[in-house]
Structure 1
Amino acid sequence: MSTHFRIPVVDRFPSQVTSLAHIANANKTVKEKLIPRQLEMFKRIVFERFEDVDMVFNNQIIHHMLLREVKRTRADSISFSVGGNIVTFSNDDFLSMTGLWRSPMRVDRYEQSSYELAIKYFVNRVTKDTLHLRLLEEKYKELEFENDGDAVKITLV
């Protein structure tokens, strides 16, 4: 049985991913920006475990793994071809390995308000389809949030 990659080998092209996410730097910026009440709110979200992580996220490894992703029929899992073997991780496996957990609440996305914060805080620099991460990184420290909820939501991004 042949392996059917999600991105066929013939559709791949040589590239180099050069972006590194310095989680420690981001954590330092967040701790400097948020007031104690906002920081407590931020700590209650699912990514709280990453708050004190001091590492560099390696995009090259993730890129390579995603090129090895194979087509599977289960919607609640992701599979990779590693060393000729198919390795499958379910949502629960991923949560267990990362130390994350399922949210007890359902999170709904309302299309009409999906750009509300971008427009509110980046009014002249955002279009409906684009908000560049570089812009967010540059302006984050200067933002004056209207409320704690906005502060936590934009910090999460």
Structure 2
Amino acid sequence: MNRIDSIINELTSISNNPIKAMEDFKKETGKGAVGVMPYYAPEELIHAAGFLPVGIWGGQKSISKARAYLPPFACSIMQTVMEMQLEGVYDDLEAVLFSVPCDTLKCLSQKWKGTSPVIVFTHPQNRKIEAANKFLVEEFKLVREKLEKILNTEITDEA
């Protein structure tokens, strides 16, 4: 088997059983996983803390409970994420990190019913102006402080 096939097989195995991947990571490192919703949240901070970033994207399932918490225009990804967290799927995460670029993500982060603590942050929409970049730096600092407190670890500048 060549290197590319090996990588694809490993990723396929992880995607087919993410809970096992989280358990294996915890056995190897002694540290757990942090949920990231959506994928462009600052996972570098999670890596720097030594924890496993886990993308939260829902799944293929019927929706029943989530509609009680989300507006009718919520996309299928948000509905399945809400449904799965109501079922306890994400309860093994140490924390969940939400960026809120849309109204539905804002609703989801505010109505999170899981046992994992939630950290919410905002990306500025216009990063061409200096004030937006200063704002983003301060947001990342707040996320870092909250992660350090929740995960009981220090995230150094070097990391």
- Indicate the TM-score class for this superposition, using the shorter chain for normalisation: under 0.3
Q: Tell me the TM-score normalized by structure 1.
A: 0.24
Tell me which structure has the larger Cα radius of gyration. Answer: 1
Q: Tell me the TM-score normalized by structure 2.
A: 0.24
By relative contact order (CA 8 Å, sep 6+), the higher-ranking structure is 1
